[in-house]
């Protein structure tokens, strides 16, 4: 993954952005994940999900090491893709 910096100059990873759209079931969902260092040295895995076009729910999980956060992010992405979510580019 490429590194970039947030508005405070802190290093953050690119966002993983997924959509699951099924017009027959009136389904239009998104799932977004990003990681960033916390002020206390932990790594925050920020997850947001909900209906496309609406504010989503947010959950933040803390990890001591970057490798732990990366493993969790990859596992979550894999599960979401198995459930029909697809990557969205250019968001």
In a domain, 89, yes or no: no
Q: Report the distance separating Cα 16 and Cα 14, nearest Å.
A: 7
Q: Cβ neighbours of residue 22 under 8 Å, at least 6 residues apart?
A: 84
Q: Is residue 64 part of a domain?
A: yes
pLDDT tens across 3-35, in order? 444 444 445 457 899 999 999 999 999 999 999
pTM of the model: 0.79
pLDDT (tens digit per residue) in 47-90: 999 999 999 999 999 999 999 999 999 999 999 999 999 999 86
Residues paired with residue 61 on neighbouring β-strands, in sequence order: 45
As for how many domains the chain has, the answer is 1
Instruction: State how far the Cα of 68 lies from the Cα of 53, in Å rounded to an integer.
Output: 31
Parallel/antiparallel/unpaired status of strands 43-51 and 27-37: antiparallel
Range of the domain at 61: 3-83
Residue 91 lies in a domain: no
The answer to whether position 23 is within a domain reads yes
Residue 14 lies in a domain: yes
């Amino acid at each position: 993954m490429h590194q970039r910096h947030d508005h405070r100059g802190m290093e953050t990873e690119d966002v993983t952005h997924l959509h699951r759209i099924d017009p027959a079931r009136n389904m239009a969902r998104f799932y977004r994940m990003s990681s960033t260092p916390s002020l206390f040295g932990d790594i925050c895995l920020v997850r947001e999900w909900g209906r496309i076009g609406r504010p989503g729910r947010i959950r933040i999980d803390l990890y001591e090491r970057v490798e732990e956060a990366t493993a969790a992010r990859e596992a979550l992405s894999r599960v979401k893709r198995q459930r029909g979510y697809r990557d969205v580019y250019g968001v």
